Amino acid sequence: MNVTLGFDVYGTLIDTAGISTALNKFAGTQTVAFAGLWRDKQLEYSFRRGLMQNYQHFAVCTRNALDFCCEALGIEISSQEKDWLMAQYKVLPSFSDVKETLPELQASGFRLFAFSNGLANDVIGLLEHAGIISYFVDVISTDEMKSFKPNPAVYSHFLRRSGATGQQAWLISGNPFDVIGAISAGLRGAWVKRSDKALFDPWEIQPTITIENIGQLRAGIGDTALSPSRLSAA
């Protein structure tokens, strides 16, 4: 079986900082701070709901995080304007390396899956808007498990849905917590370090490989990765 690549979506294929253009209308000089805090709280709320087993889907976490940011930064945004901002989250841009690299990986024999905390329909819409949906075998959402990354159960779910084993499966993510979660669950993990300032958590678990963009992924995994027997021996 060819190697399976599970791509995180938000922050890996899709640039969440792209929301800044829409936010600038409301946040002005606080736009960068607002966008960063919104992303941080979005993830925090998903972690907390996962641990509490008090599940609400990812869009709820995103809206709750938006409400928090408005209060924390003292920015008044109406309910209708928040609805508009939430809609902009569904049309975020992809990173510049994505559109040219995915077809190359597909042509090389890798099986590509989108694997996200987001609702499947939202993720499909994002990938369609970015013009990259056709390169994926399937979209796998943690919503199917009513939980979030890095719950080990969702990585096991990914393996079941993709029909892969841990040694044949890679998780590719720009989010360190996601890479750590995948490796802890038995997958291999590629960390996409998209910024020189990005830090990986100083844990006992480190990425299988670290790359600066997904254009480096094939070389990082190595040509021998396309052979299951060689991969198992690596």
Q: Where in the chain is the domain with CATH 3.40.50.1000?
A: 4-14+93-233
The residue among 90, 89, 87, 92 whose CA lies nearest residue 15 is 92
Nearest one of 83, 84, 92 to 118, comparing CA atoms: 92
Looking at the predicted structure, is the pLDDT value of residue 36 above 50? Answer: yes
pLDDT category of residue 222 using cuts at 50, 70 and 90: confident
Question: In the predicted model, is pLDDT for residue 80 greater than 50?
Answer: yes
Q: pLDDT band for position 101 (50/70/90)?
A: very high
Candidate CATH numbers 3.40.50.10170, 1.10.150.240, 2.10.69.10, 1.10.10.1590; the one for domain 16-91: 1.10.150.240
Which pLDDT does position 230 carry in this prediction? Answer: 34
Residue 146: Cβ within 10 Å count: 15
User: Which tens digits make up the pLDDT trace of 81-93?
Assistant: 999 999 999 999 9
pLDDT at residue 167 in the model: 82
- Model confidence at 42, in pLDDT bands (50, 70, 90)? very high
The region that residue 163 occupies, defined by phi over 0 for left and psi between -120 and 50 for alpha, beta otherwise, is: left
Read off the pLDDT band of 1 (50, 70, 90): low
Structure token digits, residue 105 = 């990986």
| Contact criterion met (CB below 8 Å) for 182 and 157 | no
- Residue 234's pLDDT is 34
Residue range 4-14+93-233 in CATH 3.20.20.70: no
Q: Across all residues in the chain, what is the average pLDDT? A: 93
Local structure of residue 153 (DSSP, 8 states): H
- Provide mean pLDDT across the span 122-127: 96
In this structure, the strands spanning 188-192 and 209-211 are parallel
Residue 82's pLDDT is 97
Query: Please, which pLDDT band fits residue 223 given cuts at 50, 70 and 90?
Result: very low
Q: 175-211, pLDDT tens digit by residue?
A: 999 999 999 999 999 999 999 999 999 999 999 999 9
Locate CATH 1.10.150.240 in the chain. 16-91
pLDDT attached to residue 2? 84
